[in-house]
């Protein structure tokens, strides 16, 4: 049988003193063996862990040895920290949430921004064992990466659907998911009591009558049909916003033209590119009321005038 490897007492004491008797994995205070009084204390019993395991050539040195509680040391075993990559639940870095609430979210239709905002609210409330908390738009922006004006709009939509409630500055998740409201139904024209034309019924029964031709032929093509087709071709032209969006990605002519225009007004190039990206995110967002993109709801769309308004608003807000 192999002898149990023992670490030098002086090295052990030096490591404990350097780490302040704190586990380097869960940041909890460890308890020396002589100070253990209860059964629960054994989970926090002080021990020495090799960062590089001895099986892989790790040495007994100050650089390779750290303080670890008994629980973390037993889970790490002969693995390195990079190989293990475990999520330590002993230090309270976890969120307690009911399974029924998770299933309710799985059944609820949410867009990308709404989902990210909800996860941020869960982190700020349930993540710290609080039913509600004061969460500003700048905090939501820092957590999700969404601009704070979009965060405010998303919170408003979630409040309208009763998924989130807000009293004063405090915000919380409505855990009574059976009171959540779904997306508003879009108005659709439903044809009721649709009957089959008599002529078609007769042709199927007797097999003698012919179904009237509905496909356009040389006889029924008129000038009106030609003009309608030309109008459809004109309607298929690229939207100015799409053209600008693609130009920003490829840094094309439209992007350079707009950049030169706003550079002449005293704006820096990095600031202009940042505003362009925020502008694209704003107009490319889904409108939950109509089910379309924001730019699709506009009858006329001038990129230059819209950008000027966007620049002015940002300067005013700053």
Tens of pLDDT, residues 82-106 = 555 554 555 556 788 888 889 999 9
Torsions phi, psi for 165 (to 5 deg): -120, 145
Model confidence pLDDT, tens digit, residues 108-120: 999 999 999 999 9
Q: Interior CA angle at 164 toward 158 and 166, to 5°? A: 110
Residue 186 has pLDDT above 60, yes or no: no
CA distances to 39, 198, 203, 204 from 207, in Å:
92, 13, 5, 5
Give the residue, 76 or 59, on which the prediction is more confident.
59
Can you tell me the distance from the alpha carbon of 209 to that of 280, in angstroms, rounded to the nearest whole number?
A: 58
Residue 309 has pLDDT above 90, yes or no: no
pLDDT at 119: 93
DSSP secondary structure code for residue 49 in this structure: E
Can you tell me the distance from the alpha carbon of 238 to that of 301, in angstroms, rounded to the nearest whole number?
A: 12
- Given the structure tokens 């509600």, which residue do they identify? 132
Q: Where are the beta strands (DSSP E) in 32-163?
A: 46-50, 65-69, 133-134
User: How many C-beta atoms lie closer than 10 Å to residue 201's C-beta?
Assistant: 12
Model confidence pLDDT, tens digit, residues 13-32: 999 999 999 998 888 899 98
Q: What percent of the chain has pLDDT over 70?
A: 73
pLDDT at 117: 92
DSSP secondary structure code for residue 135 in this structure: -
Model confidence pLDDT, tens digit, residues 257-280: 777 777 776 677 777 777 778 877
Give the residue, 60 or 213, on which the prediction is more confident.
60
Q: Quick one: pLDDT band at residue 316, thresholds 50, 70, 90?
A: very low
Model confidence pLDDT, tens digit, residues 128-183: 888 899 888 888 998 898 998 999 999 999 999 999 998 887 899 998 888 898 87
Residue partners of 126: CB distance under 8 A and separation at least 6: 95, 96, 97, 173
- Given the structure tokens 């019993």, which residue do they identify? 45
Residue partners of 253: CB distance under 8 A and separation at least 6: 247
What average pLDDT score do residues 283-303 get?
Answer: 74
3-state secondary structure of 167: strand
Model confidence pLDDT, tens digit, residues 60-87: 888 889 999 988 888 877 776 655 555 4
Domains parsed from the chain with CATH numbers: 9-84 (1.10.30), 99-179 (1.10.10.10), 198-235 (no CATH), 240-317 (no CATH)
pLDDT at 200: 47
Model confidence pLDDT, tens digit, residues 220-266: 555 555 665 655 555 556 777 777 777 777 777 777 777 777 777 66
């Amino acid at each position: 049988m192999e002898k149990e490897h023992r670490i030098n007492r002086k090295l052990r004491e030096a490591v404990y003193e350097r780490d302040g008797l704190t586990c380097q994995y869960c940041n909890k205070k460890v308890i020396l063996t002589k100070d253990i009084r209860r059964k629960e204390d054994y989970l926090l019993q002080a021990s020495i862990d090799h960062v590089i395991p001895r099986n892989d050539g790790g040495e007994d040195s100050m650089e390779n040895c750290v303080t670890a509680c008994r629980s973390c040391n037993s889970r790490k075993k002969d693995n390195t920290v990079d190989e293990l990559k475990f999520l330590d639940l002993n230090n309270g870095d976890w969120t307690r949430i009911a399974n029924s609430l998770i299933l309710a979210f799985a059944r609820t239709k949410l867009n990308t921004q709404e989902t990210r905002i909800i996860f941020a609210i869960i982190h700020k409330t349930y993540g710290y064992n609080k039913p509600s908390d004061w969460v500003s738009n700048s905090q939501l922006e820092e957590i999700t990466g969404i601009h704070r004006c979009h965060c405010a709009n998303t919170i408003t939509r979630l409040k309208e659907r009763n998924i989130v409630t807000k009293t004063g500055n405090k915000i919380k998740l409505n855990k009574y998911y059976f009171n959540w409201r779904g997306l508003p139904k879009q108005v659709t024209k439903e044809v009721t009591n649709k009957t089959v034309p008599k002529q078609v019924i007769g042709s199927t029964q007797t097999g003698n009558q012919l179904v009237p031709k509905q496909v356009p032929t040389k006889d029924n093509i008129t000038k009106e049909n030609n003009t309608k087709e030309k109008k459809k071709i004109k309607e298929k032209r690229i939207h100015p916003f799409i053209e600008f969006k693609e130009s920003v990605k490829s840094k094309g002519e439209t992007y350079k033209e707009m950049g030169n225009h706003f550079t002449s007004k005293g704006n820096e190039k990095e600031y202009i590119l940042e505003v362009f990206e925020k502008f694209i995110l704003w107009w490319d967002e889904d409108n939950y009321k109509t089910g379309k993109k924001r730019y699709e709801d506009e009858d006329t769309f001038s990129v230059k005038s819209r950008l000027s308004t966007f620049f002015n608003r940002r300067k005013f807000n700053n």
